[in-house]
Structure 1
Amino acid sequence: MEELDTIDLQILELLQRDGRMPNSDLAQQVGLTPPTVLRRVKLMEERGYIRGYAALVDPIRLGLTVTSFIFVETGAGCNLIETEEFLAGLPGVQEVHRTIGEWCFIVKVRTATPQTLEQLIYVHLRNHPSVRRTFTHLITSSPFETTALPLPAAAERAF
């Protein structure tokens, strides 16, 4: 995969802050012409640096007030890909991460009530044949969350 230059990184940083930023504004902020910036953005999309664009929706406004992280241990010999697909398909699941150590997966879940979380755990999750045990952390608040990734240029400026 080809390296990104400092202008590409600036474009990525700006798009992470505002994915709907007009191309003309992007061009002005990085000091290039709009066609040149558009070409760079399209190339980063084609190469997979930009996977897509999304709206950031407030979960609290939607009534998803319960956030939890569920640690999942699977049984020996289970098919990890099938388990990943099962976990990703559970209602309210936002993230599934494989881990190394005592637990096989960490799953981030948002639900409307503690009762819907309980149903997810006891009815769906713990009844799955590959799930050996679970451990749940209930989150009381989330003072900081971001979808932005740390970019090399941004990390250097932070120090």
Structure 2
Amino acid sequence: MKKVISLLIFIVAFSSCENKKVTVKKVEPVDEKEAINKVLDAWHKSAAEANFETYFEAMTNKSVFIGTDASENWKNTDFKKFSKPHFDKGKAWDFTPVKRTIYSYKDVEIAWFDELLDTWMGICRGSGVVIKSENNWKIEHYVLSLTIPNDNIDEVIKINKEKDSLFLKKLKK
């Protein structure tokens, strides 16, 4: 008897659902790209406003920040120590994105980007990787670099030559 009642309940439940269409909203990559843009824009804004907590909340605990100097390859905790005095002054750095491209692959759980930034150093390029964790995008890896016009590369090479050779000696030991 219990089996018959269970079967009847199943049939009634199934038949009541049969005529209803169940739609599953697929999250489109465009929506994810908008979310990533918001995270990156807020991250840059929090630096300009010297909001230390908000800035670092946008990054994962294992994040890496690579700066413009060859020695700057900061793990999150070291980058926090380096950055704190700048944020404590009331303004860390002001990088305003002027162009950004976001890329993703299939499942949209990992994305990467490159951006051109208006900075006190002139135009810089930022690039990085963001990951989706607990339905939020976080910065996992960020690289900041100066852009150098091709016509000026020889001058920059001359300027960097001495310091680069000293840095390379240290790395090769």
TM-score by length of 1: 0.25
More helix by share: 2
TM-score by length of 2: 0.23
More strand by share: 2
